[in-house]
C-alpha cells in the first residue's frame, strides 16, 4: 500500500486536536500536529463559542501540518460536538457568535414546543432523544428572540459545517451532524417539513444535506496560500464527533455495543435502519446518523463532565489535582457510599459541581461524599450503573444480548471506570483506541479517496494498528445488588 496522508481536525467542547493519519503497509499511524483549548465565553449573560479563535486554530493546524512535513496530505476532514449552530448572511458574514448548548436560554422551551407539536410526533419523525440542548429548541429560542436576525439569515450551519464553509466557501450540512438537531426526518434523511411548518421555522435557511464520504470542495486559495499548501479537498466525514468515533470501533459482527467516553458518554449499537417505536420513545433512545448508511442507536449520558467540573471547582479553590491523582484517591475510599443520577438536570451546568452532588444526595436521602476520593468514586460508580441500565434496555429493545462493549475516546484511558463498567454490565469490555474520533475521521477520508475499500476493511485496519485492553467482569452480583437499589433512578 503506497503512503497516503489525511488531516483530521477534531473540535471537542473542551479542547481540539489536529492529527495526521498515515496509511502505510496496511496500518494507520497517527502524528499529533496541534492541540488547543476550547472555551465557552459568557457575553451579556449568555454562553457562546469563540468561533473566530477556533477558526484561527484550524488554520494554524493546517499550516503546522505543512511545516512538519505533511504538505502532501490528500484531504482534510472536520468533526465537532453536536447540536450547536451559527447563522450566515448571503454575503457570507457571520451573524453573531454561536450559542453554547449549555446556555440556559432553552430552559422551558421543550414544553412550549410540545404545545404546538406533540412529543410523540416529533419522535416518530426524527427518532431523536429529547434533550433541552437539541438544535430544535435552540432554533425556537432564536426565532422567538430575534426574528429580524433570521430574516436576514441565508444559511443555518452546524459547527463543522461552519468550518467547512470557512475553508471552502461551500454551504452544506453533513448528514450525521444534521441528525443530532431533532429537525431531520430519520427515515427520509432530509429536513422534516412538518416540524418546520408547525413551529413556523424558516426551512429556507437549512443547507442541503451531504453524506459522509462526499467531497465538499477545495480549500479557498487564500487559505491554501496562507498554509503553503496546494489545492486540497475538504471531505464530509462523520462530522459529528461520535459518528467518527463509532466508525473507528474495531469490532466485528453485530453482538457488540460501543461507549464513546469523554465529556459526554454515548452508549449504543450500530444498526442499518432507525429504531422508532414505543419502547425507544419511552427509554428516550436516539437514532443519529452514522457513516456509510449506518444508524447510531444510543443514549447520551452526562459523562465525565461531572469529574471535569468537580476538578475545575477544586482548582478554583487552590487545590489542583491531576486526573490520575484523583483516581488514586477514589481507590482508597469505601465503595458504593454515594450514588447519583448522572443525567439529573442539576448537573448540566452548575456553578459548583461538588456542591450540586452534595445537594442531590441530601435531597434524595443519600450519604453525602466528604472527600475528593469519595466524590470521584461516586461519579464513576454512578456512571457504571447508568451504563448497566442502558445495556439492559438495549438488550430488551434489540431482542438479544450484547456480548461485548467497546469503549473508545479519552475516557477509555480511565482504568477504574473501565473495570467498574465491565463489573456492572457483566460482559468483557475492550478499551481503545483513545483517538477514535480522529481515526474514524481519517478512515472516512481514506474511503472517500479510494484508499480503503469499505468501513469493514477500515475497522480491520484499526484493529491491526492500535492495541486494545480487555477488562473481564469481576463479582457482577455485587453490582446487581446495588443496581436493584437504584434501578428506577438509573433509567
pLDDT score, position 491: 63
**Which one, of 464, 450, 442, 465, lies nearest residue 2 by Cα?**
450
State the catalytic residues. 241
pLDDT score, position 144: 94
In order of their start, the domains of the chain are: 4-235 (3.30.420.40), 250-432+453-491 (3.30.420.40)
pLDDT score, position 486: 86
The tens digit of pLDDT for each residue in 14-49 reads 899 999 999 999 999 999 999 999 999 999 999 999
Using CB atoms within 10 Å of the CB of residue 154, give its burial: 0 to 12 exposed, 13 to 18 middle, 19+ buried: middle
- Alpha carbon distances (Å) from 251 to 95, 217, 239: 43, 32, 21
For residue 240, give the DSSP letter. Answer: B
How far is Cα 425 from Cα 428, in angstroms, rounded to an integer? 9
Distance of CA 468 to the CA centre of its chain: 21
Which residue ranges in the chain fall short of pLDDT 50?
none
pLDDT score, position 146: 87
Chain mean pLDDT for the chain: 96
DSSP 2-59: --EEEEEEEE-SSEEEEEEEEEETTEEEEEEEEEEE--EEEETTEEEE-HHHHHHHHH
How do beta strands 209-210 and 265-271 pair?
unpaired
Collapsed DSSP state (helix, strand, coil) of residue 155: strand
Amino acid at each position: 500500500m503506497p503512503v497516503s496522508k489525511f488531516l483530521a481536525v477534531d473540535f471537542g467542547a473542551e479542547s481540539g486536536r489536529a492529527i495526521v493519519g498515515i496509511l502505510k503497509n496496511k496500518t494507520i499511524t497517527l502524528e499529533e500536529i496541534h492541540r488547543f483549548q476550547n472555551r465557552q465565553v459568557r457575553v451579556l449573560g449568555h454562553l457562546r463559542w469563540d468561533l473566530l479563535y477556533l477558526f484561527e486554530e484550524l488554520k494554524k493546524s493546517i499550516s503546522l501540518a505543512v511545516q512538519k512535513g505533511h504538505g502532501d496530505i490528500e484531504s482534510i476532514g472536520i468533526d465537532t460536538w453536536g447540536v450547536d449552530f451559527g447563522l450566515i448572511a448571503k454575503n457570507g458574514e457571520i451573524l453573531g457568535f454561536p450559542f453554547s448548548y449549555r446556555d440556559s436560554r432553552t430552559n422551558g422551551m421543550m414544553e412550549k414546543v410540545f404545545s404546538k407539536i406533540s412529543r410523540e410526533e416529533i419522535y416518530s419523525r426524527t427518532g431523536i432523544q429529547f434533550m433541552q440542548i437539541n438544535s430544535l429548541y435552540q432554533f425556537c429560542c432564536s426565532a422567538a428572540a430575534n426574528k429580524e436576525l433570521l430574516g436576514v439569515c441565508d444559511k443555518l450551519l452546524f459547527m463543522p459545517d461552519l468550518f467547512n464553509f470557512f475553508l471552502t466557501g461551500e454551504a452544506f450540512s453533513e448528514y450525521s451532524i444534521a441528525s443530532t438537531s431533532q429537525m431531520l426526518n430519520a427515515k427520509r434523511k432530509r429536513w422534516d417539513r412538518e416540524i418546520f411548518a408547525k413551529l413556523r421555522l424558516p426551512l429556507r435557511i437549512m443547507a442541503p444535506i451531504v453524506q459522509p464520504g462526499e467531497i465538499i470542495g477545495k480549500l479557498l486559495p487564500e487559505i491554501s496560500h496562507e498554509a503553503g499548501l496546494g489545492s486540497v479537498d475538504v471531505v464530509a466525514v462523520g462530522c459529528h464527533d461520535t459518528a467518527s468515533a463509532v466508525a473507528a470501533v474495531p469490532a466485528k459482527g453485530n453482538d457488540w455495543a460501543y461507549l464513546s467516553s469523554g465529556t459526554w458518554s454515548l452508549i449504543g449499537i450500530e444498526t442499518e435502519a432507525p429504531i422508532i417505536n414505543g419502547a425507544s420513545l419511552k427509554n428516550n433512545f436516539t437514532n443519529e446518523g452514522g457513516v456509510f448508511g449506518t444508524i447510531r442507536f444510543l443514549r447520551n449520558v452526562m459523562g465525565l463532565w461531572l469529574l471535569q467540573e468537580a476538578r475545575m471547582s477544586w482548582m478554583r479553590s487552590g487545590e489542583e489535582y491531576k486526573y490520575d491523582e484523583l483516581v488514586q484517591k477514589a481507590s482508597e475510599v469505601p465503595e458504593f457510599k454515594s450514588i447519583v443520577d448522572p443525567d439529573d438536570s442539576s448537573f448540566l451546568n452548575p456553578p459548583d459541581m461538588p456542591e450540586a452532588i452534595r445537594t442531590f444526595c441530601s435531597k434524595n436521602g443519600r450519604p453525602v461524599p466528604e472527600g475528593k476520593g469519595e466524590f470521584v468514586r461516586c461519579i464513576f460508580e454512578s456512571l457504571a450503573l447508568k451504563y448497566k441500565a442502558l445495556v439492559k434496555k438495549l438488550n430488551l429493545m434489540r431482542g438479544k444480548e450484547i456480548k461485548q462493549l467497546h469503549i473508545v475516546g479519552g475516557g477509555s484511558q480511565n482504568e477504574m471506570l473501565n473495570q467498574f463498567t465491565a463489573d456492572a454490565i457483566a460482559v468483557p469490555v475492550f478499551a481503545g483506541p483513545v483517538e477514535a474520533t480522529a481515526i474514524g475521521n481519517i478512515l472516512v477520508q481514506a474511503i472517500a479517496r479510494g484508499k480503503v475499500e469499505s468501513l469493514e476493511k477500515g475497522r480491520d485496519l484499526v484493529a491491526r494498528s492500535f492495541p486494545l485492553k480487555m477488562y473481564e467482569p469481576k463479582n457482577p452480583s455485587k453490582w446487581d445488588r446495588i443496581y436493584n437499589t437504584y434501578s428506577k433512578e438509573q433509567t
